[in-house]
Amino acid sequence: MKRRYLSLTTLDDALVRLKNAFPPPRGRSIRIHLLESEGRITSEAIYARCTVPNTAIAELDGIAVKSIETIGAGEQRPVTISDYLRVDTGNVVPPHYDAVIPIEDIQLDGTSCITRKSARKGQCIRPAGQDVRKGDLIVPGGHQIRPSDISALATYGYDHVNVRVVRVGIIPVGNELVPLGKLPGRGKVVESNSITAVSFLSRLGALCTRFDIVPDEPSMIEKTLDRAISSNDLVLLSSGTSAGRFDYTADAISRLGRLIFHGIAMLPGKPAMLGEIDGKPVIGLPGYPVGSQTVLRELVMPLLVSWGLAPVPEWVILGRLARAMPSELGFDEFIPVSIGSVDGCIWAFPHPRGSGLQMNLVRANGYLHIPPHSEGWEAGGWARIHCTALPHLIERALLCVGAKNQGLALAADALAENGINLHMIGDQPARAILALQKKSCNLVAVNVPGINPQPDMYRAARNMPVVSIHIGRMMIGIVSRKGAGKGDLADLRLMNAPGGSTARMYLDLLLSAQDILPDQILGDSNVVKTEYAVVAAVKEGIADAGICSMAHAADSGLSFVPVTYESHDVFIREESLDDERVRILIDVLQSPEFQLRLRMQGGYNTADTGRITSLLDDSAFDYEDSSNGEEVS
């Protein structure tokens, strides 16, 4: 089969060609219940069905009177009124009364009332039609309905309204996809792109239809595409848009209509495509979630907004970049970031780039757009940041840079219950401590090896007033299928953890103690990026054993022999102890409830959890090794 290559168009050109080729569909509206109308766009002008109020009513509690009978009343000249009607707020005022005196301005005297204040004609009365008259315009066509509009529409006689609608068909394609609710087997993945598309586009007012998963079979793709075109204004094909052997989306569009472009100079989202069938647009979304969501936001939403639907609200703020962000010239690049306030300044940390790293969008609360004429930005510079969280949540965010561990993730859950969002950004210890020194982050997370409790990289933090808050001690040990111990390493195929990790340091120490050269049993192919990958390699038989934390080995069904520990801590500047967000973090760590939850995770010792120690104290990392060398299966 001849290999196909992508021919890229710019994002700006793609948007122009998309909007020019496909004007708004005419006469598309749907009748919906008023309670479901917030954010939707009215398809026509809406006029009041009734007059409000429909007769004169009292504005407040008091008495209805004839104003002429109160003339001359004053503090020294009280007037007695015998012709009056007691009324409450909202009561009808009979036509022969033309004023209402508040209850606090009268004195009851048998069947008469005494007042020391004269009433003017129309006082405290809402005349008929004061708010609106039947036939008055409430909202015009093309108006985005707000909560205040919903209240008014209900008052003026409406329980349903007609709103603009665009019908969007969404077709997921791929042999590797399994439906929502089914756990994927090896090499399979849950189909989520169409679910995201429905959620996102429904907020704009689109009426979405999800089709069943279609396998990578050209005839089935064409058949489903033909059916979707007949009943929708826009069709989205999810996956199958790249240049692989089983990517048939472009061919299907070409056979049923025409392919306008394939590939956009945009990262992520480069494989996106646009076609036309029966005068309707067909947009191909990348299969990777981050790329798919970027195309939805940057290409599909602008089209639907040009068709009259409402855009998703967005907030843009100025912030400083904690890391350099290089970018490829000629590409629009969108980078997820975590942003938060440090000493009153907004800082942004980028998350790793990659179309398949869906959790980065979950962890992020904003994103950066690097335009095609730029090769990126330097660290410390200012940039416009698009917020994906509400501004008040960004002010409550805590930026934590450095190591990742289960204890900190558990603390993040407890902090969220107190309105604090902990954003964890993975980074090397030295760079994380430098960020703390530059005041671009609130916290630094460190995993301190028990075998080397004061490494040089942490000593660097002593050059500034920093304290350590202890989270817990995690057991580190040998994971294997057959209960391997310290003396068995020479005869095993070992999988190694990344350099600088406690697992890697301890394995090197064990091998050195037994005069085993790492090259004898370890090679470049035996190094994986995470401890979880170590466990997976052992479980799948790729390796016989490896070193990892007890938390990573839990629920694997493998043998675990504890041999050492690592201390999980966070560093903060002393001045930050007065920060409300940090105080809440300390309260969480010191609470018995959190410590119980931490122990239930497995592998954690919480004897010193919540302890605060100055790094100037030589005992900052002095914890006794509590491992007993017993096998835990």
DSSP 161-189: EEEE-EEEEEEEB-TTEE-TTS---TT-E
200: in domain: yes
Q: How far apart are CA 205 and CA 305, in angstroms?
A: 10
575 and 433, same structural domain?
Answer: yes
**138: CB partners within 8 A, 6+ apart:** 46, 47, 48, 132, 149, 152, 153, 156
pLDDT reported for residue 62: 94
280 and 388, same structural domain?
Answer: no
565: in domain: yes
Domain boundary among 306, 325, 342: 306
347: in domain: yes
Mean pLDDT in runs of 10 for the chain (633 residues)?
A: 64 97 90 94 95 95 94 90 93 96 89 91 95 96 94 96 95 92 88 95 94 93 96 91 67 94 94 96 95 96 94 92 94 97 95 86 95 95 95 92 90 93 90 92 89 59 83 91 81 78 76 72 68 88 88 86 89 94 96 94 91 74 47 36
3: in domain: no
611 and 546, same structural domain?
Answer: yes
340 and 287, same structural domain?
Answer: no
470 and 408, same structural domain?
Answer: yes
618 and 502, same structural domain?
Answer: yes
pTM for this entry: 0.84
Structural domain of 471: 396-633
366 and 435, same structural domain?
Answer: no
**Cβ contact 63:119 at 8 Å:** no
Give the burial string for 90-118 (b: 16+ CB within 10 Å, else e).
ebebeeebbbbbbeeebeeeeeebebeeb
pLDDT reported for residue 5: 46
Q: What is the DSSP string of 571-616?
A: EEEGGGGGSHHHHHHHHHHHSHHHHHHHHHTSSEE-TTTT-EEETT
**Cβ contact 293:200 at 8 Å:** yes
Q: How many domains does the chain have?
A: 5
| The residue to which tokens 């017993």 are assigned | 630
Three-class DSSP category at 105 = helix
Q: How many CB atoms lie within 10 A of CB 450?
A: 23
Q: Where are the alpha helices (DSSP H) in 246-368?
A: 249-256, 289-295, 301-306, 358-363
pLDDT reported for residue 511: 78
4: in domain: no
Q: How far is CA 471 from CA 454, 550, 572, in A?
A: 17, 16, 13
* Backbone torsions φ then ψ of 146, nearest 5 degrees: -105, 165
Any idea what the CATH number is for the domain that residue 384 is in? Answer: 2.40.340.10
542 and 441, same structural domain?
Answer: yes
282 and 334, same structural domain?
Answer: no
429: in domain: yes
Domain boundary among 306, 340, 360: 306
46 and 20, same structural domain?
Answer: no
- Written as six digits, the tokens of 437 are 């020194």
5: in domain: no
210: in domain: yes
Please state whether the peptide bond connecting residue 268 to the residue before it is cis, i.e. omega within 30 degrees of 0: yes
Any idea what the CATH number is for the domain that residue 452 is in? Answer: 3.40.190.290
423 and 522, same structural domain?
Answer: yes
598 and 517, same structural domain?
Answer: yes
Domain boundary among 257, 277, 306: 306
pLDDT reported for residue 625: 47
